Structure 1
């Protein structure tokens, strides 16, 4: 069940004081290691930038989307020079960061500005869990919000500089008022009933997670925050211990789900290509198709019954039922020995996809193929492989490349359980 739950027992009790201390630049006067674009080393205190809007751009060397947005960050730093400060922050070491800078030098994704490196203090203070993440501090050093990296753009910056925070709030994964206020509300810290399931509308600002305890230690909390209607159906219907279920959840193309015309009409935004939308249109789309589920339950509650109850309530909320059925389908089965390493230099950065585990590889190929792709045994799903492929290639070409690395795929037909969303 631990793998199924997004997190367990996440009520905020004893951490309020320590977390609120991280929201003022007075607490961030310590020096941080800084590497300039030419490789020279310096140190910097965030207090130096007081009087400007500060955006900390958290990244790492394996995050392709982080590197792809570096030219955009450079352009924003130039356009708003003197008014804002965008500072990249990474946990990577000097040698690792220097290698990234050197590799991109003179190219389309050259990094022309300094970065804080070997950091753990800032990422811990602001609870950074993914990359790229933007942390926004106003001119007084007050924490405003954490956002996904896509929110570091002209639309949001212009609005914040004009003291209009609505778009930033709508983009936030965590807001300052949530950290300082909501965490201490009676709704979060009070005693809960034995079993309680809530279906909540889209609200990214609730996604703070800092405490590991409940006041009532006999209860657990499971929360699925701001997932799409489709993702929540998959999460509530299945147990994530099953590898096929993991693939169903990670299948962005939803080959194992069929949708009625009524569902497609009501949630049309789920079936649109976001690339053609403006940033604000994308935020609006998320607001229309995302929900959160909160379940509070005693330790002895049957987990299957709990998920069934949550799914039933969710079906009532969205007004659509979900049915299971079986269908014979084409399967590609993956087998491998120890894969050989592939040199990333031969693949352009914008074409790279880094795959850490067999599960990552299976998920990536499944989203490019008309077939379902599975590993030949369950134990392979979390095996480390650490390969990089060219994501622009068709699946047939990728299969040939994988064969050179010692990874083989062969075809089978199997009965596959699927979902019909009415």
Structure 2
């Protein structure tokens, strides 16, 4: 009798264990397929670093930045850059190699027109007059850059953390982070590749 009771108990426990295991597996599968609200997979986690292959948060496009463009400072969002590849060029006034790359960025803008966007980003300097002098080439004999620059940035440096400059952030037309690179990566092959990979972007 004890043996029968033991076997029934053992069978019951095995079924129960299988049921519990099945529930756990189902829950894990659902969790693995459904991004958590705070995972950033849907771009909804503002201020958190963007991982390679993930989209920038929606706030990236609606956040108001101070931008130096056409010789003056304006408050503006990045909404007009949406839907096309975008390269963020992080720089600082104390970085000669950053400033030396401005003409190259201007050249890419002329070559590829509105097939790809570029914007400079200064997250290090707070002296807006000094920044304006650098961007306009005032007193240096350099041509002013034709590329707009975000200044006094805090937000973008949170999304794309870095300690040194220049750093280039490559976003595709969907706002997904494709690469974070140094200046060596900023060449015609890479820029053309971004343009040609864009939906309907072949010239």
- 5+ residue gaps, structure 2, are 1-37, 41-47, 199-203
Normalising by the residue count of structure 2, what TM-score does the alignment of the two structures yield?
0.65
**Does 2:63 correspond to 1:33?**
no
Partner secondary structure for residue 147 of structure 2: coil
Which residue of structure 1 lines up, in the alignment, with residue 86 of structure 2?
54
Partner secondary structure for residue 139 of structure 1: coil
User: Deviation string for 1:71-99 (max 9, x for gaps)?
Assistant: 11111111111111110000223122023
- 5+ residue gaps, structure 1, are 1-14, 165-422
Q: Which has the higher strand share?
A: 1
Aligned-pair distance for 1:114?
1.9
Which residue of structure 2 lines up, in the alignment, with residue 159 of structure 1?
193
Q: Distance in 1 between matches of 2:78 and 2:136?
A: 26
Aligned-pair distance for 1:129?
1.9
Q: Distance in 1 between matches of 2:139 and 2:186?
A: 23
Q: Retained in 2: the 8 A contact 1:37–1:101?
A: no
User: Deviation string for 1:322-371 (max 9, x for gaps)?
Assistant: xxxxxxxxxxxxxxxxxxxxxxxxxxxxxxxxxxxxxxxxxxxxxxxxxx
* Partner of residue 82 from structure 1, selected from 93, 102, 114: 114
Aligned-pair distance for 1:126?
0.6
Normalising by the residue count of structure 1, what TM-score does the alignment of the two structures yield?
0.33
Aligned-pair distance for 1:130?
1.3
Which residue of structure 1 lines up, in the alignment, with residue 173 of structure 2?
139
Partner secondary structure for residue 87 of structure 2: strand
Q: Retained in 2: the 8 A contact 1:59–1:131?
A: yes
Q: Retained in 2: the 8 A contact 1:105–1:111?
A: no
Which structure would you say has the larger Rg? Answer: 2
Partner secondary structure for residue 181 of structure 2: strand
Q: Retained in 1: the 8 A contact 2:67–2:73?
A: yes
Aligned-pair distance for 1:151?
1.4
Aligned-pair distance for 1:27?
2.9
Structural mapping, 1:116-265, within 5 Å: 116-163=150-197
Q: Distance in 2 between matches of 1:146 and 1:66?
A: 15
Q: Retained in 1: the 8 A contact 2:109–2:118?
A: yes
Aligned-pair distance for 1:103?
4.2
Q: Retained in 1: the 8 A contact 2:89–2:118?
A: yes
Partner secondary structure for residue 88 of structure 1: strand
Q: Retained in 2: the 8 A contact 1:37–1:111?
A: no
Which residue of structure 1 lines up, in the alignment, with residue 100 of structure 2?
68
Aligned-pair distance for 1:140?
1.2
| Inter-CA distance 102–80: structure 2 relative to 1 (3 Å threshold) | closer
Aligned-pair distance for 1:112?
2.7
Q: Distance in 1 between matches of 2:142 and 2:91?
A: 18
Q: Retained in 1: the 8 A contact 2:50–2:159?
A: no
Runs of 4+ with deviation above 6 angstroms: none
Out of 103-112 and 133-142, give the one that drifted further. Answer: 103-112
Q: Retained in 2: the 8 A contact 1:67–1:109?
A: no
RMSD: 2.4
Out of 57-66 and 105-114, give the one that drifted further. Answer: 105-114
Q: Distance in 2 between matches of 1:32 and 1:107?
A: 29
| Inter-CA distance 137–106: structure 2 relative to 1 (3 Å threshold) | same
User: Deviation string for 1:93-152 (max 9, x for gaps)?
Assistant: 312202323444683453233210000110121112211100011111111111112212
Q: Distance in 2 between matches of 1:100 and 1:106?
A: 8
Which residue of structure 2 lines up, in the alignment, with residue 328 of structure 1?
none
Q: Distance in 2 between matches of 1:146 and 1:55?
A: 10
Aligned-pair distance for 1:25?
4.7
